[in-house]
Amino acid sequence: MTPVAAAPRRENRGPSAGPENRRALIAAAAEVFAEKGITAPLSAVAKRAGVGQGSLYRHFPDRTSLALAAFEDNVAAIEALADEPGTDLDALLDLITDQMIGSVAFVSIVSLGAADERLPAVGQRVVDAIAPAVEQARKAGRLRRDATADDVMLAIGMASSFVAQNPGADRRAVAESCWALLDRALRP
């Protein structure tokens, strides 16, 4: 029995759509994971990206790869900002806070199952990126004498995980509450 109507198959835009699809998938994953958590259906990511299921799997063979790619975007932005001359720790934390509100967030990476050796490396990149700003802030007296970059990273992780737990809530307000408390642990 032949189908009655021609299937409304998405137009095949050809290989040139590859990089665009990849970007769309990363952006969609960042949003979907932020909204529904890291266990959200991959089909939802593909649909939001406007991309076929197969293409998703071609670009990212598993869930971790996709989350990692989205997170990579976050990290690259952090590194880029850290490299700009006038950037201080506050600016970096603002950016990171924005990310934990609207994107995959660090915690999602952690909760992938820990069964991936790529995770610690990415975390370390963030630590490395913020380390100079941490040092500078400490010297400027805007951070406790004994605060390390690892401390800051732990604070980020805690805030991030707490924010990620509140799917429906006002994420920015939650994040600000977290930082209000954590600042007291880090600031002099």
Partner DNA sequence: AATGAATGAGTATTCATTCAT
Partner DNA sequence: CATGAATGAATACTCATTCAT
- Contact region for a second copy (CB under 8 A) — 24-32, 84-92, 121-129, 176-184? 176-184
CB of 116 to DNA, least distance (A): 14
Q: Which does 114 bind (CB under 5 to 8 A by kind): a second copy, DNA, none?
A: a second copy
- Give the residue from 111, 95, 119, 123 showing the smallest Cα distance to 40: 111
Nearer Cβ to DNA (63/142): 63
10 binds a second copy (CB under 8 A): no
Nearer Cβ to a second copy (133/182): 182
CB of 154 to a second copy, least distance (A): 6
Displacement of CA 122 from its chain's centroid (Å): 11
Cα dist. 51→59, 112, 128, 152 in Å? 11, 23, 35, 38
23 binds a second copy (CB under 8 A): yes
16 binds DNA (CB under 7 A): yes
Task: Give the Cα separation of 158 and 99 in Å (integer).
Answer: 14
Buried-exposed string 153-177: b where 16+ CB fall within 10 A, e elsewhere: bebbbebbbebbeeeeeebeebbee
Q: Spell out, one character per residue from 89 to 128, where the chain touches a second copy: x when CB under 8 A holds, - when not.
A: ------------------x--xx-xxx-------------
What single letter denotes the amino acid at residue 184? R
Residues 22-61 that bind DNA (CB under 7 A): 22, 39-43, 50-55, 57-59, 61
What single letter denotes the amino acid at residue 159? A
Q: Which does 13 bind (CB under 5 to 8 A by kind): a second copy, DNA, none?
A: DNA
Task: Give the Cα separation of 133 and 14 in Å (integer).
Answer: 45
Decide if 82 contacts 127 (C-beta within 8 A).
no
Residues binding DNA (CB under 7 A): 7-18, 21-22, 39-43, 50-55, 57-59, 61-63
